[in-house]
Structure 1
Amino acid sequence: MLSILTLLGLATNCNAYSGPKVEKKLPYSKGLNISEWLEPVSGFIDGHFDSFGKQDFIDIKNLGVEVVRIPTHFDTFSSGKPDYIIPDSLWQRLDNAVNWCEELKMYIIIDFHNDCSGNSKTPPDIEKRLEKIWPQIAKRYKDRSEYVIYEVMNEPHGIDCAKWGKIQEKMIKLIRSIDSKHSIVVGAADWNSIHELLKLPMYDDDNLIYNYHEYSPFLFTHQGAEWSQDVTRLTGIPFPYVKEKMPPLPKNATDGERWNYNNYPVDSSEEKLVEPINKAVEFVNKRHAALMSNEFGVYMKYANPQERVNWYRIKSGYLDERNICRVSWDYRGGFGVFNSMNSSRFPEDINVNLVKAMGYRAPSGKSTSWFQDAQKKNDYTIYKNGLAQKLTFSSYIPEAENLCTLYKKDSADEDCYIYIPKADKYRSLQFLFRESVDFTALAKAGACLEFEVKHNEPNFKMSIYFTDSDAKGHPWRNGIFPGVKDIPADGKWHKLRIPLNRFTDYGAWDNGEQKWYNSEGKFTWSDVVNLTFDTGDNTISKGLCIRNIVIK
C-alpha cells in the first residue's frame, strides 16, 4: 500500500487510488448537501427556513454537481404524536426543490434527517415516527421523475444496530407498498458507520443504494469542532500525519483526547483510510447494489486550507476510482465550498482550489445582487407570486404548528401569498437583501412601500420596518404601525401604499446583547439590510395573509 505522500506528488508516481470497483454504477457520481435549510436547530424552527431559492440550485448545477441531498427534519416540522402530519409549509419547500432539480436535470435525495448533536440519541419510538411519515413522502413523490431518491434515515445512533437493520427493512417494504420506482438509500446505525454497514441484513429489493458517512481521519476532519468534546481542544492537526508538525496534547487531556491523538498516525495512514472502503465495495458487489458516501468533508475553521484541499482531492480520488458516489457535506457552512463559513456570494466567494480538488468546475465572473438587478430594471419587487430572486426569507416563528406558508394559493389561477395561521407576540417575517443597499434616492423621490394584506383580527396591529446594519452601533429600525383602521378585519385583500419618508426611526433591538435601545435618530436609508413584518405586542389567532410587496 502506497503512502498518501505519493498522492500529493511527494513520492514516486504510481496509481495509489487503485482498488476494487463497484459493479453497479449510478447515473450520477458527485454531489453536495444543502444543509442549514430544512434543519431546525435542537427542535427550534426558525431562521434559515427560506435561505435557499432557485438561483442557489442553478449555481450548484453550474459547479457540475449531479446530485443534491436535502437533509430534512420531517418529524420536527410535523404535527407530532400520534400522526406526525407534515404541514403544507414544508411540502412547498420540498416541492420547489424537486421541481428545480427536475428542471435542471439534477438528482435529489430526500433525506429523513434527525438531531445529530453530540449527546443526542435516536428516539426510542423512531419506528412509529418513520411508519407515519414515510407513507406521506412516498405518496407525494411516487409519480415524480427518476431524479427523486429517498433516504430512509440519516445517522441512526444510540440504537442497537441489529434492531435498526430490522426497522430499516420494514421501512423499505412500507415505501415499496406505495412506490416501486424510486431508488432508496439505506445505511447502518452507529452514525451511518461503514463498519456496521457490512453487518446489515440482506434486503429483498434490487433498487437500493447502500450508504456510509466518511469523515476519516476524524481528528483531522473535525479538529476544534465545538460539538465534539474529544477534539474541541485539538487543533493544528496536519494531514497527512507528520510527527514534527503535531501540536502538543492539551494539559490534563481527557481519555478521548488522548485516544484520538495517539491513534492519529495509524488512523491517517492510507491503509487505514482505504481498507474499509474496499470492504464496502466487496460487500455491495455481493448484493448487486450501488454504493455512496452521502456525507464526507473537513471542518474549515481550524484545518490548514491547503491540507484541507489535499484531503478532498485524495478522498474524491479514492471514491471515484471505486465507482462510489460522493455527496459532500456541505454547500454553505463549516464544511462548505465557500472561502469562509460566513461568505456565500456565488461565484466570487467560492473556494476555487477546493472545488477543483473535488472535480467540479471552477466558476468565473461576478454575481449581481437583487438591488443591482432592481436598479437596472427599475423594478423593486420583493414578493409577487413568490419571493423575488436573490432575496432570502427568514421567519421567527418557533412553533411548528404555526409555520408560515410562503407560497399559499387558494386556486390555480390566483397568485401566491404568505400565510401565517397563528402567531404569538413578536413573531416576524423578514426579507433579507443579502447585502447593504442604498434606498436614499428612492426615499427622496417619494417612493412607497406597497403591499396587500387580509385578515380577520379585531385588534389587528403590526410593525413593518426597515433595518439598517449595525455600522452605527446597533441595527436601527425605521417603521410604520398599521392597525385595523388601516386594514379592516373583513377577510378581504386591502392594498397599503406608504411613502418611505413616512417611516419613523423608533429604536433598535441588539440581538447579541438581548437589549432594546430607544431611537437616537441614527437610522439611515443608505445602509438597509432587511424589511420586516412583525406582530409586535399583538397576537394572530385567525390567520394573516400578505402578498405583492414592492417599493415603487
Structure 2
Amino acid sequence: MKKLPAILIAAIFFGGGLQAQPAEDAAFTPANPPEMKPIASHRTPAYQAAKLFQHGVNLGDYLEAGNNWGVTIAADEFVQMKRAGFDHVRVPVGWHHYAGAAPDFTLSPEIFARVDFAVTNTLANKMAVMINIHHFNELDHDPAGATGEFLAIWRQIAAHYQKFPKQLAFELDNEPHENATTALMNPIYARAIAEIRQTNPKRTIVVEPGGWGGIGELKNLVLPPDDNVIVSAHCYEPFYFTHQGATWTSESTPVTGIVFPGPPAQPLVPDPKLQLKNYMRDWIEKYNTLPADKNPSSSLAFSGKLKYVHAWSDFYGRPVHLGEFGAYIKADAVSRANFYAAFRQTAEKENLGWCIWDWSANFRYWDKKNNCPMPGMHDALFGKTK
C-alpha cells in the first residue's frame, strides 16, 4: 500500500482534519511516491480543458438505465441549464445495454441517436459535455472478462465522435468498484486511452479511481504520461445527510429529518423500530450534541477531503474534476440549499471544478412540474462565494 503523510491521511478519513493544522498549505510530498510520475507543467491540454468543466450538472437517471427510469430531457431544458449558469453537462450512458454479441459488441444506432441528442443540444447551447460508460456492472464483477467489451465500446464511441469539437470529453468508466479496484483498472484504462488516441489524438479523457471514484483511492491511481487526461472523483459526504431515506444503498440510511448544518434545534430521535447499527447511533449522537464547527453534518465532512484532492492534483500535475456531489430530495429544502452552497464554495476555494447530481431526478436541481429551480438551489450554486 502506498503511504501518504499522516496529515493527509487524516484529511481523507476525518474530513476537516486539516483545518486546524498550521502546515495545511505545505507542499504535497508522499512518503513513498507511487509509480505515476508527476507532470511538471500546469499548462497542459488537460488543464486548459478543465477550464471548460467548472460548474456542471449530471443528466441523472436518463441514459444510463437498460430500461426506462422515467426521466426524459427535452431540448428546451438545455436552454435552461445554460441560463442557470452551468457551463457543462455530464451525460451518464449505459452503452453496454445496447451492445451486440462478442467479439464486435456492435452498438445499436438507437443509443447513438439518443446520446447525439444530448451532446448536440449541449454544444448548441455553448456548454461543454462529458459522456461516459455508466453502471457497467459486468466490468465491476469481472474486470478481466469484460475488458474486451469495454475496449470495443470505446473504440466505437471514439470513431463516432472523432470529428466533434474539443468541448466533448470522454470519461472512461463511472465509479468502478467491487473487483474493479484501482490497481486492476490502471492497465485497463491505459489500453482504453491508447484505443481512443488512434482516432482522437487530442480528445480530453477523464479517468476515475476505484472505490466508487473515492477520494481515498487517488493515491493508487497510475496513469500513462498523457497530458490530456483529467482525473475525476466523487464525494457524497456527509453520507447520512445526503442519502437520508435512500433505499438503494448498501449503507444504512433509513433515518430522515437530518439537517445541514447540524446540530438540529431539537435532538433527532430515530424511530425505535429501526434496527440501526452502532456506528449510525454514534453518528446521530454526535450530530445531536456537537457544535456546528465540529458537527458531522457540516462542511467538516468534506473540507479536508477536498483540500487533499487539491494537494494531490498540484503534486501530480493532474487536474481533478468533482464529477458527482449532491443530496437526495428527502432532505428538507433549506438544508439541501445549505449543503450545495457549502460544498460548492469549498470546491471553488480548492480550485476544483464540480458537477452536481442531478438535473431533474431524485437529487434534482430542476423542478419540472413548476419549470423552475428547486427552492434555494440557484443561489446555492451560483450566488457569490462568501
Map of 1:306 onto structure 2: 334
- Please tell me whether the aligned partners of residues 237 and 246 of structure 1 are also in contact (alpha carbons under 8 angstroms): no
Choose which of 61, 64, 84 in structure 2 pairs with 1:63: 84
Deviation at 1:113, TM superposition (A): 0.5
Deviation at 1:269, TM superposition (A): 5.0
Deviation by residue 1:204-251 (Cα, 9 ceiling, x = unmatched): 110111111111010110011111253332111122221664423453
Q: Which has the higher helix share?
A: 2
- Please tell me whether the aligned partners of residues 193 and 213 of structure 1 are also in contact (alpha carbons under 8 angstroms): yes
How do residues 22-33 of structure 1 correspond to structure 2 at under 5 angstroms? Answer: 24=47, 26-33=51-58
In 1, the alpha carbon distance for the partners of 2:299 and 2:69 equals 41
Map of 1:330 onto structure 2: 358
How has the CA–CA distance of structure 1 residues 244 and 353 changed in structure 2, closer, same or farther, with 3 Å as cutoff? closer
Map of 1:359 onto structure 2: 382
- Please tell me whether the aligned partners of residues 260 and 335 of structure 2 are also in contact (alpha carbons under 8 angstroms): yes
Map of 1:141 onto structure 2: 161
- Please tell me whether the aligned partners of residues 75 and 133 of structure 1 are also in contact (alpha carbons under 8 angstroms): yes
Map of 1:319 onto structure 2: 347
In 1, the alpha carbon distance for the partners of 2:232 and 2:26 equals 17
Map of 1:253 onto structure 2: 276
How do residues 307-456 of structure 1 correspond to structure 2 at under 5 angstroms? Answer: 307-339=335-367, 343-347=368-372, 350-359=373-382
In 2, the alpha carbon distance for the partners of 1:259 and 1:173 equals 48
In 2, the alpha carbon distance for the partners of 1:233 and 1:274 equals 25
In 2, the alpha carbon distance for the partners of 1:74 and 1:181 equals 23
In 1, the alpha carbon distance for the partners of 2:335 and 2:100 equals 45
- Please tell me whether the aligned partners of residues 77 and 87 of structure 1 are also in contact (alpha carbons under 8 angstroms): yes
Structure 1 vs Structure 2 CA RMSD: 2.7
How do residues 110-259 of structure 1 correspond to structure 2 at under 5 angstroms? Answer: 110-114=131-135, 122-124=140-142, 125-159=145-179, 160-242=181-263, 245-251=266-272, 252-255=275-278, 257-258=280-281
- Please tell me whether the aligned partners of residues 78 and 85 of structure 1 are also in contact (alpha carbons under 8 angstroms): yes
How has the CA–CA distance of structure 1 residues 80 and 319 changed in structure 2, closer, same or farther, with 3 Å as cutoff? farther
In 1, the alpha carbon distance for the partners of 2:100 and 2:81 equals 32
- Please tell me whether the aligned partners of residues 332 and 344 of structure 1 are also in contact (alpha carbons under 8 angstroms): no
In 2, the alpha carbon distance for the partners of 1:192 and 1:291 equals 12
- Please tell me whether the aligned partners of residues 111 and 152 of structure 1 are also in contact (alpha carbons under 8 angstroms): yes
Deviation at 1:177, TM superposition (A): 2.4
- The amino acid across from 2:218 in the alignment is L
In 1, the alpha carbon distance for the partners of 2:192 and 2:235 equals 24
In 1, the alpha carbon distance for the partners of 2:281 and 2:325 equals 24
Deviation by residue 1:18-48 (Cα, 9 ceiling, x = unmatched): 97999645234101011222122xx4x2364
- Please tell me whether the aligned partners of residues 216 and 267 of structure 1 are also in contact (alpha carbons under 8 angstroms): no
How has the CA–CA distance of structure 1 residues 232 and 268 changed in structure 2, closer, same or farther, with 3 Å as cutoff? closer
Choose which of 68, 78, 96 in structure 2 pairs with 1:46: 68
Q: Secondary structure at the match of 1:122?
A: helix
Flag structure 2 segments of 5+ consecutive residues without an equivalent. Answer: 1-23, 28-40
**TM-score normalized with structure 1 length:** 0.56
Map of 1:398 onto structure 2: none
With CA pairs under 8 Å and 6+ residues apart, which has the higher RCO, 1 or 2? 2
In 2, the alpha carbon distance for the partners of 1:121 and 1:170 equals 14
- Please tell me whether the aligned partners of residues 230 and 256 of structure 1 are also in contact (alpha carbons under 8 angstroms): no
How has the CA–CA distance of structure 1 residues 147 and 255 changed in structure 2, closer, same or farther, with 3 Å as cutoff? same
Map of 1:489 onto structure 2: none
In 2, the alpha carbon distance for the partners of 1:82 and 1:247 equals 55
Deviation at 1:255, TM superposition (A): 4.8
- The amino acid across from 2:347 in the alignment is L
Q: Secondary structure at the match of 1:225?
A: coil
Deviation by residue 1:149-203 (Cα, 9 ceiling, x = unmatched): 1000000110233112222222222212221111111111111001102220142
- The amino acid across from 1:77 in the alignment is Y
Deviation by residue 1:485-507 (Cα, 9 ceiling, x = unmatched): xxxxxxxxxxxxxxxxxxxxxxx
- Please tell me whether the aligned partners of residues 52 and 167 of structure 2 are also in contact (alpha carbons under 8 angstroms): no
In 2, the alpha carbon distance for the partners of 1:316 and 1:351 equals 16
- The amino acid across from 2:61 in the alignment is E
- The amino acid across from 1:314 in the alignment is A
Give the length in aligned residue pairs. 331
How has the CA–CA distance of structure 1 residues 268 and 77 changed in structure 2, closer, same or farther, with 3 Å as cutoff? same
Q: Does 1:291 align with 2:320?
A: yes
How has the CA–CA distance of structure 1 residues 256 and 141 changed in structure 2, closer, same or farther, with 3 Å as cutoff? farther
Identity %: 26
In 1, the alpha carbon distance for the partners of 2:61 and 2:236 equals 19
- Please tell me whether the aligned partners of residues 333 and 375 of structure 2 are also in contact (alpha carbons under 8 angstroms): no
- Please tell me whether the aligned partners of residues 187 and 210 of structure 1 are also in contact (alpha carbons under 8 angstroms): yes
In 2, the alpha carbon distance for the partners of 1:304 and 1:101 equals 30
Q: Secondary structure at the match of 1:314?
A: helix
- Please tell me whether the aligned partners of residues 213 and 294 of structure 1 are also in contact (alpha carbons under 8 angstroms): yes
**TM-score normalized with structure 2 length:** 0.78
Deviation at 1:131, TM superposition (A): 1.1
Deviation at 1:282, TM superposition (A): 1.4
How has the CA–CA distance of structure 1 residues 246 and 213 changed in structure 2, closer, same or farther, with 3 Å as cutoff? farther
Deviation by residue 1:88-123 (Cα, 9 ceiling, x = unmatched): 01111122222222222110101111168xxx9813
- Please tell me whether the aligned partners of residues 60 and 358 of structure 2 are also in contact (alpha carbons under 8 angstroms): yes
- Please tell me whether the aligned partners of residues 157 and 191 of structure 1 are also in contact (alpha carbons under 8 angstroms): yes
- The amino acid across from 2:346 in the alignment is Y
In 1, the alpha carbon distance for the partners of 2:76 and 2:117 equals 12
